[in-house]
Amino acid sequence: MTVVEHVDGIEEQLGVYGEQIRAALSDALPDGEPAAWLYDLAREYPARPAKFIRPALCLATAQAFGATGDEALGPAVAIELLHNAFLVHDDIADGSLLRRGHETLHVRHGVGLALNAGDALAVLAQRVLRRSLDRFGASLADRIASEFEIMMLRSLEGQATELGWRRDTVIVLTPEDYLDLILHKTCWYTTVHPLRVGALVGSGGRAEVSPMVRFGFYLGSAFQIRDDLLNLVGDEATYGKEILGDLHEGKRTLMLIHLLGAAEGADRAVLRDYLRVDRDGRSDELVAEVRSMMDRYGSIDFATDYATGIAGAALDAFESAFTGARRNDAYRFVQALVPYMLERES
C-alpha cells in the first residue's frame, strides 16, 4: 500500500467517525441567549473543518476494547469540546491570526468575548461528560471524571511551561525538555486521555490503562512534531494556520531547540536577538533568516528523523498497550494512525 492509499484509507475512516462526532458536537452546543455574544461564538471553531482525531481515537479504542457502538461518544465529544476551548485560549495567548482557515475568534470578536466563549466551551465539555456518565456504574463514572480533571490540569501545566519559556526567554533547552513539554501540553489530552478513557469504557473499567501513557506519549509526540513541521513546510490552504506562525511567535519547537544547540558564531547572536524580542519585533526578514538557518543546520531533518524514530517506538508500545484488545477494524484503525501521524498534510 502506498503512502497516499494509506492516508486516503485513514481519512475515510476518520470521516465515518467524524460524521457521528459532528452531530453529537452540535447537539452539545445550546441555542441559548445571548447568541450573538456567546453561543454563536462558541459554535465557530467546532463548525470549522476538522479531522476529529482525538474523539475518533477514543471511540475506536473503546470499540477495540469491547464497546459495540457509541458507548464512548459522550467522553469523546467532551474531549473535542475541550480541545476547542483550548484553541480559543491558546490563540489569544499566542496572538494567532488564523485557525482552521479562518480568522481566530479574538481577531473576529475581541479578546473579552473570545476568552469568555472559550470558558463556555470548557463548561459545555464537562456538561457533556457528566451527562454521559449515567450509563456507567458509579465507580467507572467517578474514574472517568477524575481522568478528565487530571487531563485538564496536565494540559494547563504544559501551556504554562510553554508560555513561561517564551516570557522568560528560556534558551537552554534539550529535546527532552521539549518532549516533557508536549507530554503535558499536547499528548495528555490528544492521545493519552482518549486512549485511557476509551479502554476503560470499552472494557467496563477492567482494562489495564497504564501502558496507554507510553503509547499515547509516542503517538502524540509524532503528531505534534509533524504539526510543528507543517507550520514550516506545509501549504497554508491545506494546513489552515499561518505558515511560519510558530516562528513569529517564538514557539519552542524541536527544530528551534535543535538550532539553539547547533548554531554558532554570528548565527547564535541573531537567534538570541530573535528570542529576546516579542512577536511585533520579529520581522518577516528575521523569521526568514531563522527559517533558512534551520535548513543550513539540518534542524528540519533532525526533527523529521526524530518523529520517525518516535513513530517506531509508538508501534511497539501499541502492541503492549493493546494486548488485551480485539483484533477488529477499530484495532487496525488505531494501529494505522501511527504512520498516518507522519504522513498527514494537514
Contact string (CB under 8 A) for a second copy, positions 67-106, x = contact = ----------------------x--xxx------------
- The verdict on 59 binding a second copy (CB under 8 A) reads no
Q: In a 3-state reduction of DSSP, which class is residue 102?
A: strand
Are the beta carbons of 198 and 178 closer than 8 angstroms?
no
Closest CA to 50 of 77, 89, 90: 77
- The verdict on 112 binding a second copy (CB under 8 A) reads yes
CB of 151 to a second copy, least distance (A): 10
Contact string (CB under 8 A) for a second copy, positions 131-170, x = contact = -------x------xx--x--xx--xx-xxx-xx--x---
CB of 201 to a second copy, least distance (A): 19
d(CA 20, CA 176): 38
CB of 152 to a second copy, least distance (A): 5
Half-sphere exposure of 132 (CA within 13 A, CB side): 24
- The verdict on 346 binding a second copy (CB under 8 A) reads no
Nine-digit cell string for 125: 465539555
- Alpha helices, DSSP H, located in 168-277: 175-182, 193-202, 211-233, 236-239, 245-249, 254-262, 265-276
- The verdict on 123 binding a second copy (CB under 8 A) reads yes
Count of residues in contact with a second copy, rule CB under 8 A: 40
- The b-or-e profile of 279-295 (16+ CB within 10 A means b, else e) is eeebeeebbeebbebbe
Q: Of the two residues 12 and 31, which places its CB atom closer to a second copy in the complex?
A: 31
Position among 73, 78, 105, 122 found at the interface with a second copy (CB under 8 A): 122
Position among 64, 87, 117, 275 found at the interface with a second copy (CB under 8 A): 117
Are the beta carbons of 207 and 183 closer than 8 angstroms?
no
Burial-class residue 139 by CB neighbours within 10 Å (0-12, 13-18, 19+): exposed
- The verdict on 251 binding a second copy (CB under 8 A) reads no
Q: Which stretch binds a second copy (CB under 8 A): 7-15, 35-43, 236-244, 304-312?
A: 35-43
Q: Which helix (H) or strand (E) holds 94?
A: helix 73-94
**Hey, which residues between 165 and 224 contact a second copy (CB under 8 A)?**
167
d(CA 309, CA 311): 5
Q: Of the two residues 142 and 295, which places its CB atom closer to a second copy in the complex?
A: 142
How many Cβ atoms are within 10 Å of 220's Cβ, its own excluded? 28
Name the one residue in this structure whose C-alpha cell is 501499541: 318
Residues at the contact surface with a second copy, assessed by CB under 8 A: 32-34, 36-38, 41, 89, 92-94, 109-113, 115-117, 119-120, 122-123, 126-127, 130, 138, 145-146, 149, 152-153, 156-157, 159-161, 163-164, 167
